[in-house]
Each structure stands twice: as C-alpha cells, then as structure tokens.
Chain A
C-alpha cells in the first residue's frame, strides 16, 4: 500500500487540490497516521459501499473532491461502480487490485487472474477499465504500484476531471497471495517487468490474461456532463427561471453549505 499512498499524496499535491477538501471513503482500513499525513477526511465504510458513501458526500456537498479507494471493488460494490459510472458521478475511484482478500486470509477476489490463483482457476478476472468505460466512466487507467510517476500523473489528472474516473492499481498483497501461490514475494516487481505500457489502448483489449503481458496505461480520457450538470440543465429547462441550480459553494472553516444564506446550510454553529 505504501507506494500507492505516496503516489496519492503526490498526486493531490500535483493536482493543486487542497487536501482538506478531499474526502476518502474506503472499505480498506487506512492507518490513522497515513490519514494524518495525507491531510484528507477519511471514512472507513462497510464493505463494498465506498462508492455510494462517496456519492452521498458528493451530492450533499458538491464542492468536495471525493476519492473512493476500494479494494474488493468488484465483489460487493460492482453494481455501485456500474451505476456511478452511468450517472457520471464526480468521483475518482481508485481500485487497488491485490488479487486477493488480504484481510480475511487470502480468499480469491473476482479480479484474481486464473494463472495466479490456486483457488479461482475457473473464474476469469474482471477487466475493470473495460467495465468502467462501457458503463460511462470518462477516465480509465491502470498502473502497477511501481509505475510511480505515471500513477502520480494519473491521479493528478483524474482529480481535475469532471466525472467518474477510475484508476486500477495492481499491488499484490505479499503475505497471502504470493504465499499461497508460491510466487516470488516481489510480485509487484514481476508485474512491473511483465507489463507493457499502451496508452490509449481500447479498454476491450486490456483484460489480464494468463501468459500475456499485462497492459497498463491511460486508456480513455473523454468529457461527458456530470450528474449534477445534467440535473441542473434538465431542471432549468423544465422549471425555468424559478429553479436555483444545485451546485458547489466554496468551502470554509465551518463547512461547505449548499444554500446561499447562512441559515440554509442545515444548521448553525454550536
């Protein structure tokens, strides 16, 4: 995880986004000092619900930058990923793919590649960039945890995108995964060596397949109106001038509110 956290910290810095405005709902437990270092607001959610928790944060306060960091994204939360992509909710989904459920002792996850896992040889992994792209995500990329510079650039770039971006990071868990599969514990180096950068490759062709090089790169980068954009456009069209657009109000110390007046923001201090 630590190279990813470093990349994340650098990515935030590079993007120009204030860390204080960044909210990270995640079903992966972060160490408290990591959160302190990053300077973000961190929410450890129930399994699989990081994306929808983030949807709530984002819609309640559109000024926030919400970055769901998900581990087993494609198991419990797969549906939320599909629908958040469809809505083009303004989230940056970082999917840390360690090919295994680390916390519960090495069960295989849906993105486990058949070649690498004893227990899931009969299941094919998800091609996460392709799934995201097919559902409407505007930015898809995949890197290994050792592609540090590219990863930092991707995070910085995606943080400034308006819409759902997904970055898949290959970072195998050394304890369980490599142990069970008798692979060199420096698997991440193996991935780094056996990966091939193909930017702008059609996501259709980037599935992780046995005996093939792992394709990494930035695959898609397009523009599409976000959920709130479409909401505002549609409602102004139907309601007319009476409609007050729903949208971001700059954050302040006491928190970012939605309305314009002080009393409208849901409460007063104290």
Chain B
C-alpha cells in the first residue's frame, strides 16, 4: 500500500489533450448522452490527427450548448440559435480553420433552422453535430421540433401535436454533402462518422440521438439512461444509404441509423475562389 501512495504516479485523463480538465465535472445529468457524444468527438479529434490549433468549436445555447466550453479548442459559446451563423463567419474569414458546430436540436433546428438550411445551401465547409434528445432540456423539458408526435413535454401537457422534423431529410433537401445519424450507444461508429465528416469538404451533418433521463424520459416514463441505451440496442437498425425521407422517428419507434448521404458539391469558399 505504501508504494501506491508515492507521488510518482500522476493521474492523467486519457483525453486531457482535448478536454478542459479544470472545468470537469461537467453539468450534465447522470445518464445523459451528451457526454458520450463529446467523448466520441474527442476520440475522433485524436484519431483524425488534425492540428488542434486549427479547429474551432462553436455551440449555441442549451445542454449541448455547453459542449464548446469543455473542449480544449478555440471554443465559442454563442447566442441561442446563431451557432451556425457565427461559425460561417469564422470559416469565411479564415478558410484554413476547421469549424465544428456542436449544438442541440432546439438550438440548430428550431430557432437556428434558417441558418441551418442556408449554410447547407451555401455548402459552407463545416461539421455540424446535432445532439437530438427530443426536448428542450436546459429550460426544463419543453416541446422541441424533434419531439415525437404524442410524446409529452411541459409546453404540450396533452402530448405533442406537431409532427417532428426529420433532420437528415431537411439537411439533404437543403444541400448537405454528408449526413449520418447514430445514437450514443454506437460510439465506435459515431467516432468513425466524426472522423469521416471532419475530412469532408462541405456542409456535413451528424445527428446524434441521445437520451435525456431527466426530462424526456422522466416526463414520458421511459426509465433512466440505461433503459434508453437498452431501447437503442433493441430498436435501431443500420441502413447505410437509406433514402432520407424514410427516417422519421415516431414515439418509441424504430430508429434507422447509418450514413445516408456522402456526395460532392463545391463548397462556398471553393466557389468564392
């Protein structure tokens, strides 16, 4: 026992190069999937062997909006919904940078929906990671544009009455060049997707389905984070190249994952040149 106490051994977190360790512990609830998405992203950054000084990460507001603050890159925590617009500024001003937008469904698709479709149309070279937990979690569980029909949330106390948006289809129809979807259970595949997308020139979207045990699962009585992981295990199916219009997610319905779109289109900065 004596030997263990000697201070020769310094504890090093395996991802210390990529994470801001002085900000850990993070704010996310036990069972939340955002941490897993961040881990996958950090692993992808290390594996992709890109110069970390040349990567900027931008987040909006919300639970996922806090991601930028935990990653040791040039991090920007911007206003609600404007992450993509902010990132567009970075990319166009300095095309050498790799720009990653890491934010939630409400931030990117609801209030930031317009920036999302326009950045996709312009094909701005950036990776957008959209963590979809089906709800506004930071404000306490309000209905989101991704909330499945008939699922409960605090601002739809009688069940959601709005059909949810199909994020890959929206990205596809607006012109994204790389579209994939994974859950936080499929970490290895998610990591590979991040690596691929980081390498891609153009507007890439990776949707990450993530459990929200505190709000979405609690309000809808779906159990804790582990139950959701089991659910993802039993109810997901990988279909690469699937037509994006078939990717709707019903309440506790089957989730189709995979890489749906991988095509070439000149990016904004290339056209500009």
Contacts and interface: CB of A to CB of B under 8 A. Distances in A.
Asked if chains A and B are in direct contact (CB within 8 A), the reply is yes
Interface in B92-128: 110-114, 117-118, 121-123
Nearest to A125: B121
B159 A79 contact: no
A79 B173 CA distance: 14
B161 interface: yes
Contacts of A131: 117, 173-174
A135 B170 contact: yes
Interface string B145-163: 1000110000000111111
A78 B117 CA distance: 8
A107 interface: no
Interface residues of A, number: 34
A153 B163 CA distance: 29
B271 interface: yes
B144 to A, nearest CB: 11
Given A79-B117, A110-B118, A123-B122, A235 B173 contact: no
A88 B165 CA distance: 12
A227 B162 contact: yes
A199 interface: no
Interface in B239-273: 244-245, 265, 268, 271-272
Given A227-B162, A238-B158, A238-B159, A86 B123 contact: no
Contacts of A87: 162-163
A83 B106 CA distance: 12
Contacts of A135: 165, 170, 173
A124 B121 contact: yes
Nearest to B273: A122
Nearest to B168: A134
B207 interface: no
A78 B112 CA distance: 10
A241 to B, nearest CB: 14
A231 interface: yes
A217 interface: no
B145 A83 contact: yes
Nearest to B123: A124
B175 interface: yes
Contacts of A63: none
A86 B110 CA distance: 11
A110 B118 CA distance: 8
Contacts of B162: 86-87, 227, 230
B272 A136 contact: no
B169 interface: yes
Contact of A123 (B117, B160, B268): B268
A123 B114 contact: no
A79 B107 CA distance: 12
Nearest to A207: B175
A76 interface: yes
A123 B265 CA distance: 11
Given A76-B114, A83-B113, A239-B158, A134 B169 contact: yes
A18 to B, nearest CB: 29
A83 B110 contact: yes
B163 A78 contact: no
Nearest to A203: B173
Nearest to B271: A122
A181 interface: no
A121 B272 CA distance: 8
B214 to A, nearest CB: 23
Contacts of A204: 173
A65 interface: no
A135 B110 CA distance: 13
A126 interface: yes
Given A79-B117, A131-B173, A134-B245, A86 B159 contact: no
Interface in A167-210: 204
A235 to B, nearest CB: 5
A122 B158 contact: no
Interface of A: 74-79, 82-83, 86-88, 110, 121-127, 130-131, 133-136, 204, 227, 230-231, 234-235, 237-239
Given A123-B122, A134-B172, A234-B159, 17 more contacts: A74-B118, A79-B111, A79-B113, A83-B165, A86-B145, A87-B163, A88-B163, A122-B271, A123-B271, A131-B117, A136-B163, A230-B149, A230-B162, A230-B163, A234-B149, A234-B158, A238-B158
Q: Which 8 A-B pairs have the closest CB atoms?
A: A122-B271, A79-B114, A134-B173, A79-B113, A238-B158, A231-B161, A78-B114, A230-B161
29 contacts: A77-B114, A78-B117, A78-B118, A82-B114, A82-B117, A86-B162, A86-B163, A86-B164, A86-B165, A110-B121, A124-B122, A124-B123, A124-B175, A125-B121, A134-B166, A134-B170, A134-B173, A134-B244, A134-B245, A135-B173, A204-B173, A230-B149, A230-B162, A230-B163, A231-B161, A234-B150, A234-B158, A235-B158, A238-B158
